Amino acid sequence: MDPDDTTVCVLGGGTMGRGIAYACAAAGCDVRLRDVDAGQLDAAEEYLAATTDDAVSRGLLSETEAEAVRDRVQTTTELGSAAADADLAVEAVPEELELKTAVLSEAESHLPADAVVASNTSSLPLTSVAAGLSAPERVVGLHFFNPVHAMDLVEVVLAEQTTPAVREFAESFVTALGKRPVTVTDAPGFATSRLGALQGVEAVRMLETGVADPRDVDEAMERGYGHPVGPIELTDTVGLDVRLDILEHLREELGERFKPPALLRRKVRAGKLGKKTGEGFYVWDEGEIVGVADGVGGRQ
């Protein structure tokens, strides 16, 4: 497929939505980024400017190319104009089954009949999402990873209703973005969230029981196993609330090994959700770790 001839409607202007919009625009797609909150769209435009500027400073884009990427993204609160000519719609709203189904169902009525409909869910049952649409056979999962512009992997998730043609489109689309598709069936947590959640929950339990501090846990996995980011920093980056929601779902589906630690629940109740709030297990300033949060043991 040719990204230059592809129009993508991204539904949701939060962290994942704006990241998906950037990745699509950088590959050459025309992007319609829609959110009901104009403030989210303002923040998305700031993100696009900052990310393209960073790419220019690192020699990854020229000034002309950066301007072209920004110009390919149109932001709007109007669903009709965002979806009307889209070849693909990707929802990137919070991990709530009813919300995702409602957003895609509403968008479906505005999309062309041959458009592919994708969910960025990281763990929810895609078959259930598809069942809420009038044409469930065109639904597929496109599970991007944060930060989208820097992560090569996209998990392509097949609902029970997904047709072979939609699977082929999804895999080709991911490849056209310059990323690697990994295709999985619709099982609880798919592959990546299931494995990542187990590692993440055990890492938090280690903090809770005083086995090690966050920096040492992360360094053990980075240096010992070659992970680019340790499990505690990754939890802070993804969001402690997102991690908690995933664990709750996997616990219900797969059992007590996914039981969220009390420390994680306390952090979420306190609104300390990680990088996006400035504190989780680490303390963050302007997107960089500046220390270990109180109450999780670490050296300052």
Q: Does residue 149 fall inside a structural domain?
A: yes
Q: How confident is the model at residue 300 (pLDDT cuts 50, 70, 90)?
A: very low
Pair (135, 207) in one structural domain: no
Last residue of a domain, one of 169, 185, 201: 185
Mean pLDDT of the chain: 94
Q: Say if residue 299's pLDDT is above 50.
A: no
pLDDT of residue 123: 84
Pair (51, 178) in one structural domain: yes
pLDDT tens for residues 90-124? 999 988 999 999 999 999 999 999 999 999 998 88
Last residue of a domain, one of 129, 154, 185: 185
Strand-pair partners of 119? 91, 141
Encode burial over 219-247: b for 16+ CB neighbours within 10 A, e otherwise.
ebbeeeeeeeebbbbbbbbbbbbbbbbbb
For the CA atoms of 111, 77, 106, 123, the dihedral, rounded to the nearest 10 degrees, stands at: 100
Q: How confident is the model at residue 298 (pLDDT cuts 50, 70, 90)?
A: very low
pLDDT tens for residues 169-187? 999 999 999 999 999 999 8
Last residue of a domain, one of 137, 152, 185: 185
pLDDT of residue 297: 61
Q: Could you give the percent of the chain with pLDDT greater than 90?
A: 83
Structural domain total, the chain = 2
Pair (24, 115) in one structural domain: yes
Using a 10 angstrom Cβ sphere, with 0-12 exposed, 13-18 middle and 19 or more buried, the burial of residue 283 is: middle
Q: Say if residue 4's pLDDT is above 80.
A: no
Higher pLDDT: 35 or 4? It is 35
Q: How confident is the model at residue 27 (pLDDT cuts 50, 70, 90)?
A: very high
Q: Contact, 128 vs 101, CB < 8 A?
A: yes
Residue 137 corresponds to which tokens in the numbers above?
């056979």
pLDDT tens for residues 116-157? 999 999 888 999 999 999 999 999 999 998 889 888 999 999
Pair (97, 198) in one structural domain: no
pLDDT of residue 147: 83
